[in-house]
Structure 1
Amino acid sequence: MARHLTLGIDIGTTNVKACVLDTQTGKVVAFGSQEHPLFHPKPGWAEQEADNYWQAVTSSIRQCLEQGNFADQIAGVAISGLVGVTLPVNDKGRPLRPAMIWMDSRSEEECTDIRNTIGEKEINRNNGNRVAPWFIDPKALWIAKHEPHVFAATHKFLSPAGYCTYRMCGNFTMNTGDAGLAYAYEYQKEAWNPAVANAIGIPIEKFPRLYRSHEIVGEITSKAAEETGLRAGTIVAAGGTDISSAALGVGVTKAGEAFYSMGTGSNLGIMIPTEQTVDEYRILKWPHVLPGLTMFDAPMAFTGASLKWFRDQFGDGEFRLAERMGQNVFDLFTEQAKHVPACSNGLLYLPYLGNSLAPNWNSRATGVFFGVQPTTTRATMIRALIEGVAFDLLSNFRIAEAAGAKIDTLVLNGGPTKSRFWNQITANVVNRPLKVPDIGEAAPIGDAVLAAVAAGIYSDPVTPLADIVKIKETIDPDPVANRRYVDFFEEWRAVYQSLVGSMDRHRSLLEKYSVS
């Protein structure tokens, strides 16, 4: 009997999620997930262990396989993952140091070096992006400067998806989406540019071979079969970035369509034709999993992470209550926030717990509550956290529109979007309808679709989506609440601008007095 199941796996910043897709019905028949740790050894540093990615991947796969006799029916596998990660490995595929992930901001000096050597205009032209620590190259140059023995021993720089794909099939690969976070990648030609790589100071041979997301990169090895429970010889596809696979998984497949993906961080992704030149670099550009489309994408760092921080530091009571009641602890937080009026009685929150990505790109930004009064409660702070995240989205929303992007509606995805309360605040702030798909986690579904194309089950990634993606709800904005949010948004922006200098001096003090 022909194999008709495929497996999609997404490596998020703190969780790996996997699903098995039945291509005959368009339904997910199994799901698994596993957390993995994030380390902040110094202010501004953010690292993860590559083997923790792999352990979470194998755990998620085995959870799926335990839900049915699936291994022999899985025709293909694809992995996506978090982007902007610099992970050096040797020629045996062994990690040489922890991965420096997207929120790591230690490489500001290396960004200055890139501007002084090749120039930011050439980076803009070749890669379509700005120079910032969020990307692969500045962190690689930091390694070259501070850990030259590691840089010299580096055979390839891999992404988390690329590393786990290597563990699957034994080949060093990089999908074009992950490559979009390396300045040597010429995004409108889908190719490495050796001249740019050499000018930056990273030999082009340290980057893996490029593949489109639906292309075959290898087969499950016997060793990987033992570790995962999958059948040796199963096709492995190149996969994509977490955001681009999620876009596919929610059915965002045409220029002009947009989606908002929320997790530990979040992304506003607007689809543009790859040949279109947009001279706006506060918002990023990288390849969609669909050839010919580029994602005009605004990443924001501390979305779900803001409420998770509050939970971890101040949520012991809710933790215990959630366990007794069998409820989601975050639902208990948002239930409290429902009783606070829009704009949180004037309490404003800047969601920058370590740095700010789009549109500020300030690696020295810090989180701020502004407007605390004697009447400020825990519930007020919870609502302000959610509203501060929505204000960060609105700041990028306005920049995208000014650059010529047209956004009629947003399609949602990710953990926080399971909260209707959170979604309503987002709709009220950006003043657009939000479409909520009737699917689970979109990125692994998108990966499963890519795996089905690689395995020859689907002729293309778009056609089957009509049977997979259904919109269960559209959340319309409240115009009265929007007018109030617009007024407070202007003050929210002003608070950030007035504190930029203080944030810079504050980080210098932290670095001066940090314990090595």
Structure 2
Amino acid sequence: MEYILVFDAGTGSVRALLFDKNGNQVAASQFEWTHIEDPRFPGSMNFDVEKNWELVNTCISQVLNKSGVDPTAIKAVSATSMREGFVLYDHSGKEIWACANVDSRAAAEAKELKSIDPDLEKKLYEQSGQTFALGALPRLLWLKKNQPDLYEKTAYMTMINDWILYKLTNMLQVDPSNGCTTGIFDLKTRTWTPVIAEACDLKNNIFPPVNEAGQLLGTISESMAAATGLSKGTPVISGGGDAQMASIGVGAIKDGQTFICGGSFWQQEINIKEPVVDPKNRIRVNCHAIPDLWQIETIAFFPGLVMRWFRDAFCETEMLEAARTGRDAYEILEEKAKDVPIGSNGIIPIFSDVMDYMSWRHAAPSFLNLTLDAAKTGKKELFKSIQENAALITYGNLKIVEDVTGHYPQEAIFAGGGSKGKLWSQTLADVLGIPVKVPVEKEAAALGTAIMAGIAVGLYPDLETAVAELVKWERVHQPNEDHHQQYLAIYENWRSVYAEQLKLADSGKTRHMWIAPGISI
């Protein structure tokens, strides 16, 4: 059997996953990594390249030991990662600075960039599809102002997945699907545009070559083979951003397809054949990992984190039952919530707003419209309302996309941790009013990366064939039209209530759940 090794470098951990040619996960190893806050710089989240490379190496060793696979049977190695996190290097190729995607130290710099020209962010958005909210420009300006010695030494810049592949091949490069999230890419040409850096008074010469996902970067050297246990000469293949590789891993490879990734954040990825930005600047636009596709991306903040908070804070009974029975606590909660009426007896959760990329902020977290009747307002109703709320935000985001493109999806693919819940998946179908398909393989980003690497080394003839063979479906949830009509009314009411709650946060009477760097209210 032939195998593919993939690294998935997420926000909270790094994983190595070994897939066989048939797309089966053979072995995996995972370690959490901690992003260190420098006490001198509030909001900083430094990415420790030395310690984290040790974790990558340990993952390799564990996967090889667990699987018992001969390293020579591994025919390709590739990597995917969180977007927005990046690494800077000096002229010798040594890492000198790195940050995770959750780094938020550059709020003042984002405001400064906005003050240069009130229309600058909009102009850059029209070319790059990005704003200052998540991109690299404010952080680079922060480095220039606060650590000028490191800024002056900076000669190259890559993303986190590219850093892993650089360690294996000594080749500095980026791919468009992750590189574009810096905000320094031209969407149409899918490559760096130094003009954007110049407009922000930043270096215009730190940008390495660009390779689309699935390109041969090099092979494992003798010294790297000795250090990692991998086989000398194993091809190393370019990867991409996690959401884009996950799109491939669930078969979202054609124009018009919609993929919902239900994790800590919920991302909605809508494939488009030409890059189209929003005149109202509400949506994000990225390069897909497929060369002739782009993606509109909308994001719901924290549904997975909200659900985890609720479980940990209020569901000790279910967690104890899960430990005793070996079942998942969320499965137990879904079982208890399955008969809760549509709308959760009127509970109105306030967490994420729908997407507003240029003025991105969220009201203070809360549950509204509770009753004092324990039979109507209790744990199972609150649980169901969180699930409904994530689906309502998703619906709102897809309606924004429809406003921009004229297209509302005919069906959606749902993967990630949220898709494990059958009740949550059905609720999503009912709210959206369309069928929701759930794939068997939940590690979609890793599988998508493996598919692109496998094509590169000839294990699969082409992308369509690989997806047809490897992407399998666990279930399809058909929408209940009566429930959908009820949810349309619930959505309109939620939007009205949310607007009032956002005013409270904007006025300072409550605290925003999250507000983008540089936003002035």
Same fold? TM cut 0.5:
yes
Decide whether aligned partners of structure 1 residues 371 and 220 sit closer, same or farther in structure 2, where only a CA change above 3 A counts. Answer: farther
Q: How does 1:401-440 map to 2 (within 5 A)?
A: 401-403=402-404, 404-440=406-442
- Give the distance between the partners of 1:87 and 1:341, measured in 2 at CA: 49
TM-superposition CA deviations, 1:188-215 (whole Å, max 9, x none):
1122112222112231322332111111
Summarize deviations over 1:395-454 as a string: whole Å, max 9, x none. Answer: 101111111234110011111101111101111111111011222311111111111223
Q: Is the 8 A contact 1:78 1:448 kept in 2?
A: yes
Q: Secondary structure at the match of 2:240?
A: coil
Partner of 2:267: helix, strand, or coil? strand
The 1:218–1:110 alpha-carbon spacing in structure 2 relative to 1, beyond 3 Å, is: same
> Residue 63 and residue 73 in structure 1: after superposition, are their counterparts in 2 closer, same or farther (change >3 A)?
same
CA shift for structure 1 position 174: 1.2
1:170 and 1:221 in contact (8 A); partners too: no
Unpaired stretches in structure 1, ≥5 consecutive residues:
512-516
What residue identity is the alignment partner of 2:188? Q
The SS at the match of 2:464 is coil
SS at match of 2:181: coil
The aligned counterpart of 1:64 is: 63
Aligned amino acid, residue 265 of structure 2: G
- Shift in Å at residue 272 of structure 1? 0.5
| Alignment counterpart, residue 479 of structure 1, candidates 481, 484, 495 | 481
Alignment of 1:368-383 (within 5 A): 368-375=366-373, 376-383=377-384
Matched AA of 1:386: Q
CA contact (8 A) 2:246 2:446 kept: yes
Query: Which range moves more in the overlay, 239-248 or 118-127?
Result: 118-127
Tell me the amino acid that sits aligned with residue 126 of structure 1.
Answer: Q
For the residue of structure 1 that corresponds to 2:431, the secondary structure is helix
> Which of 463, 466, 488 is the aligned partner of 2:465?
463
CA distance in 1, matches of 2:493, 2:159: 39
The structural deviation recorded for 1:319 is 3.2
The percentage of aligned residue pairs carrying the same residue is 25
User: Distance between the aligned counterparts of 2:174 and 2:115, measured in 1?
Assistant: 26
Whether 1:20 and 2:22 are equivalent positions in the alignment is no
Separation of aligned partners in 1, 2:42 and 2:430? 33
After superposition, where does 1:244-263 map in structure 2 within 5 Å?
A: 244-263=244-263
Q: Is the 8 A contact 2:281 2:358 kept in 1?
A: no
Please name the residue that 2:181 is paired with.
181
Residues 245-303 of structure 1: CA deviation (Å, up to 9, x unaligned): 11111111110111111111121111111355664631211111111100111122312
Aligned-partner Cα distance in 2 for 1:39–1:307: 25
Indicate the residue corresponding to 2:26 in structure 1: 29
Q: Structure 1 residues 510, 447: closer, same or farther in 2, change over 3 A?
A: closer
Match of 1:445 in 2: 447
**Aligned residue identity for 1:368:** S
Looking at structure 2, the residues matched to 467 and 93 of structure 1 have their Cα atoms a distance apart, in angstroms, of: 40
Counterparts of 1:92 and 1:364, CA distance in 2: 43
C-alpha contact (below 8 Å) 2:364/2:512 kept by paired residues? no
User: Which letter maps to 2:342?
Assistant: A
CA distance in 2, matches of 1:126, 1:194: 12
- Give runs of aligned pairs for residues 288-437 of structure 1, distance below 5 A: 288-352=288-352, 361-363=359-361, 365-375=363-373, 376-403=377-404, 404-437=406-439
Structural RMSD (CA) = 3.1
CA–CA distance in structure 1, aligned partners of residues 152 and 168 of structure 2: 26
Bigger mean CA deviation after superposition, 221-230 or 462-471: 221-230
Check conservation: 1:298, 1:396, Cα contact below 8 A. Answer: yes
Compared CA separation, residues 483 and 108, structure 1 to 2 (3 A): farther
In 1, Cα distance between equivalents of 2:243 and 2:204: 26
3-state SS of 2:490 partner:
helix
Amino acid at match of 2:128: N
Query: What per-residue deviation string (whole Å, max 9, x for no partner) do you get for residues 53-108 of structure 1?
Result: 54554444444322231422111111111112244444566655562415748526
1:489 maps to what in 2? 491
| Superposition map of 1:189-338 within 5 A | 189-222=189-222, 224-226=224-226, 228-274=228-274, 279=279, 281-338=281-338
| Distance of 1:341 and 1:195 partners within structure 2 | 54
Mapped pair 1:11 → 2:9: yes
Amino acid at match of 2:33: H
SS of the aligned residue for 1:462 comes to: helix
Count of residues in Structure 1 that have an aligned counterpart in Structure 2: 505
TM-score, normalisation: structure 2 = 0.87
Structure 1 residues 500 and 39 mapped into 2: Cα distance closer, same or farther (>3 Å)?
A: farther
Map Cα deviations across residues 456-480 of structure 1 (whole Å, 9 max, x no partner): 3334333221111122321011122
User: C-alpha separation between the residues in 2 aligned to 1:84 and 1:393?
Assistant: 22
Query: More deviation in 342-351 or 112-121?
Result: 112-121
